[in-house]
Structure 1
Amino acid sequence: MADRNTDASQDGALAYTYLVDHPQMLPTLSALLHAQWGDRAFCASRAGIEKRFIARMHRDAVPFTLIALEPASPDRLVGTASISLHELPEFSDRRFWLSEVCVDPAMRGRGMGRRLVEMCQSRAAELGVARLNLYTFSQTKFYESLGWQQDASVVLEGLRHAVMSIDLSH
């Protein structure tokens, strides 16, 4: 990802790129996240989501956001994932986080989430990140299949979340 803006997916059907290169997609991204997690405080406000993602509009530094677009319909954002900073106050010693991995429900099951996570991990490693963290309510097995390990838990909004990490230094 270091020298490219986009990368073809394994099936060639999607284009992966940085949000910073497509700022016009911000309202679509906020709508996707709001539809997925709008009942949770962190995504209750589309304006709040957009403000958070404006701060992630980087390519060559953390934080950054990747998006997946349909090449035949480049205004159709179908997935996203970010590397962000200091996600949880309870874990202030953990600086780098994989966050807000989300795929359009109609596009799930095609490997897009996996590809977004792998691309985020690769780019974070290129930028010198040695260890990434994440928290998830329901996707622990998915992340374990990608090499992540649960090393803590946290209760957020009354729901227990697994806190996981992966070593990128190898």
Structure 2
Amino acid sequence: MSNKPTLTLLKHCPEHIPEIAKWHYHEWGALFPEKSEADFASDLAATLNDAELPLSWVLLLDEQVVGTASILLQDMQTNLDLSPWLANIYLAPAARGKGLGKWLVTQVMTKAQQLGLTKLYLFTENKPEFYQQLGWQPLKQELYEGKLVTIMHWQA
């Protein structure tokens, strides 16, 4: 990494919501077939908080937004008994392969602890090993919108 990454609340730079919504829609639209790109944008707008959930952060590198992360109360139409969720872990293609994903997830896990959260959940279609090396444990697998996903949990 040439320059040090920084994490800032989306609340401080909401002008990036349209670009981020486009990223998220292209990455995960198939898992949420009822949602449009505009729905993704309005979901992001609902996270413009600073001390209460839901929250979203942007990863900045060289003052450019290159990634996102959120902690949401719900992230699936199923498993409504589980909350809160680490979600929207996304890196722009040019930012991948540089260790930024691990840095981003670790930072948000620390933020969760600072907020008093002792447990988080997530679901991933194809990256359970990535999260396991950061201390996450698989909970179960299920078919979600036609895709096999792994639901994982982390305990602070």
2:15 is aligned with 1:24:
yes
The TM-score normalised by the length of structure 2 is 0.91
What 5-or-longer segments of structure 1 have no aligned partner?
Answer: 1-9
Q: Which has the higher contact order (CA 8 A, sep 6+)?
A: 2
**CA apart distance, 1:11:** 5.2
**CA apart distance, 1:113:** 1.2
**CA apart distance, 1:14:** 2.7
Give the direction of change, closer, same or farther, for the CA distance of 1:43–1:116 in structure 2 (3 Å limit): farther
Q: Deviations over 1:96-143 (max 9, x none)?
A: 100010101121011111111111111111111110000001000000
Q: Which residue of 2 aligns with 1:78?
A: 66
Secondary structure of the equivalent of 2:110?
helix
Q: Which residue of 2 aligns with 1:62?
A: 53
Aligned-residue CA RMSD in angstroms? Answer: 1.8
- Percent identity between matched residues is 28
CA contact (8 A) 2:122 2:151 kept: yes
How do 1:1-170 residues align onto structure 2 when only pairs under 5 Å count? 12-41=3-32, 45-71=36-62, 74=63, 76-168=64-156
Secondary structure of the equivalent of 1:141?
helix
Q: Distance in 2 between matches of 1:44 and 1:86?
A: 15
CA contact (8 A) 1:56 1:63 kept: yes
The TM-score normalised by the length of structure 1 is 0.84
What 5-or-longer segments of structure 2 have no aligned partner?
Answer: none
**CA apart distance, 1:69:** 1.9
CA contact (8 A) 2:31 2:144 kept: no
Q: Which residue of 2 aligns with 1:7?
A: none
**CA apart distance, 1:158:** 1.0
Give the direction of change, closer, same or farther, for the CA distance of 1:89–1:34 in structure 2 (3 Å limit): closer
Give the direction of change, closer, same or farther, for the CA distance of 1:23–1:125 in structure 2 (3 Å limit): same
Secondary structure of the equivalent of 1:57?
coil
Q: Distance in 2 between matches of 1:14 and 1:53?
A: 21
Secondary structure of the equivalent of 1:27?
helix
Q: Distance in 2 between matches of 1:43 and 1:58?
A: 25
Q: Distance in 2 between matches of 1:39 and 1:82?
A: 19
Secondary structure of the equivalent of 1:17?
strand
